[in-house]
A and B are shown apart, each in its own frame.
Chain A
Amino acid sequence: MSASHFVRERLVCNSSWKAAGLLVPGLLICGIASAATPQPRRQEQHFKVQTHPVVTLHNPNGTITVKAWTKAEVMVISNRASDDVEVDAEQMGNRVDVSTHATSDNVAPEDMRADYQINVPEDAELQIHNDSGEVNVANVLGDMNVETVAAAVDLEDSAGYVTIKTVGGSFQCTRCAGKLEVSSISGNLRLTDIHSYHVHAQTSTGNILFSGEFLPNGLYRLKNYSGVIEVRFSPADSFDLSATSLKGKVINEATLTPKAHQQHFYNRFGNSLIGTFNAGRAKVELTSFDGTINILKRD
Chain B
Amino acid sequence: MAPMTCKNFLNGLPLRTEGTSSRDAEAHIRNCPSCRNITEDLNAIHSAARSWGGEELEPPAHLWTSLRSQLEREGLIRDERDPQLEPSNSGWFGRWFAGLPRPALAGGYLVLLIAVAFGFSRPVNRQVNEARWLEGTQVSTSPLSAQLTAEQDSFASFNNSNPVVTASLNKNLAIVDNYIALCEKSVQEEPQNEVARDYLYEAYQQKADLLAQMTERGENNR
A contact set with B: CB distance below 8 Å: 58, 60-61, 99-102, 107, 109, 112, 129, 131-132, 147, 149-150, 161, 163, 167-169, 181, 185-186, 202, 204-205, 225, 244, 246, 265, 267, 269-270, 287, 289-290
Q: Of B91, B97, B193, which contacts A246 at CB under 8 A?
A: B193
The interface-forming segment of B69-77, B116-124, B167-175 is: B167-175
Are A132 and B175 within 8 A (Cβ)?
no
Are A287 and B195 within 8 A (Cβ)?
yes
Are A167 and B172 within 8 A (Cβ)?
yes
C-alpha gap A246/B186 in the complex (Å): 10
Are B195 and A161 within 8 A (Cβ)?
no
Q: Which chain A residues lie closer than 8 Å to B41 at the CB level?
A: none
Q: Which chain A residues lie closer than 8 Å to B167 at the CB level?
A: 150
Are B175 and A186 within 8 A (Cβ)?
yes
Closest CB-CB distance, B3 to chain A, in whole Å? 43
Q: Which chain A residues lie closer than 8 Å to B186 at the CB level?
A: 246, 289
C-alpha gap A135/B179 in the complex (Å): 28
27 contacts between A and B (CB under 8 A): A60-B93, A60-B165, A101-B90, A102-B91, A109-B161, A109-B163, A109-B164, A131-B162, A131-B165, A132-B164, A149-B169, A150-B164, A150-B168, A167-B168, A167-B172, A168-B168, A169-B168, A185-B175, A185-B176, A244-B195, A246-B186, A246-B193, A246-B196, A267-B194, A269-B193, A287-B195, A289-B183
Q: Which chain B residues lie closer than 8 Å to A147 at the CB level?
A: 97
Chain B residue at minimal CB-CB distance from A107: B161
Closest CB-CB distance, B197 to chain A, in whole Å? 11
Closest CB-CB distance, B52 to chain A, in whole Å? 12
Q: A132-B164, A185-B210, A246-B186 are in contact. Are A161 and B169 (CB under 8 A)?
A: no
Q: Which chain B residues lie closer than 8 Å to A225 at the CB level?
A: 179, 199, 203
Are A99 and B93 within 8 A (Cβ)?
yes
C-alpha gap A149/B97 in the complex (Å): 12
Q: Which chain B residues lie closer than 8 Å to A287 at the CB level?
A: 195
- Write the B85-97 contact mask toward A (1 if CB under 8 angstroms, else 0): 0000011111011
Q: Which of B185-222 contact A (CB under 8 A)?
A: 186, 190, 192-196, 199, 202-203, 206, 210, 213
- Starting from the known contacts A169-B168, A267-B194, A289-B199, 12 additional A-B residue pairs (CB-CB under 8 Å) come to A58-B94, A61-B165, A100-B93, A101-B94, A112-B161, A150-B165, A167-B210, A185-B210, A244-B195, A246-B199, A269-B190, A289-B183
Indicate whether B153 reaches chain A with its CB closer than 8 angstroms.
Answer: no
Closest CB-CB distance, B9 to chain A, in whole Å? 34
C-alpha gap A265/B192 in the complex (Å): 13
Indicate whether B57 reaches chain A with its CB closer than 8 angstroms.
Answer: yes
Q: A161-B55, A267-B195 are in contact. Are A149 and B213 (CB under 8 A)?
A: yes
Q: A107-B161, A167-B168 are in contact. Are A101 and B193 (CB under 8 A)?
A: no
Closest CB-CB distance, B205 to chain A, in whole Å? 10
Closest CB-CB distance, B47 to chain A, in whole Å? 19
Q: Which chain A residues lie closer than 8 Å to B165 at the CB level?
A: 60-61, 131-132, 149-150
Are B91 and A101 within 8 A (Cβ)?
yes
Closest CB-CB distance, A29 to chain B, in whole Å? 31
Q: A61-B162, A186-B175 are in contact. Are A101 and B196 (CB under 8 A)?
A: no
Q: Which chain A residues lie closer than 8 Å to B161 at the CB level?
A: 107, 109, 112
Are B172 and A132 within 8 A (Cβ)?
no
Closest CB-CB distance, A132 to chain B, in whole Å? 4
Q: A60-B162, A246-B193, A269-B193 are in contact. Are A185 and B172 (CB under 8 A)?
A: yes
Chain A residue at minimal CB-CB distance from B167: A150
Indicate whether B80 reaches chain A with its CB closer than 8 angstroms.
Answer: no
Indicate whether B18 reaches chain A with its CB closer than 8 angstroms.
Answer: no
Q: Which chain B residues lie closer than 8 Å to A270 at the CB level?
A: 195
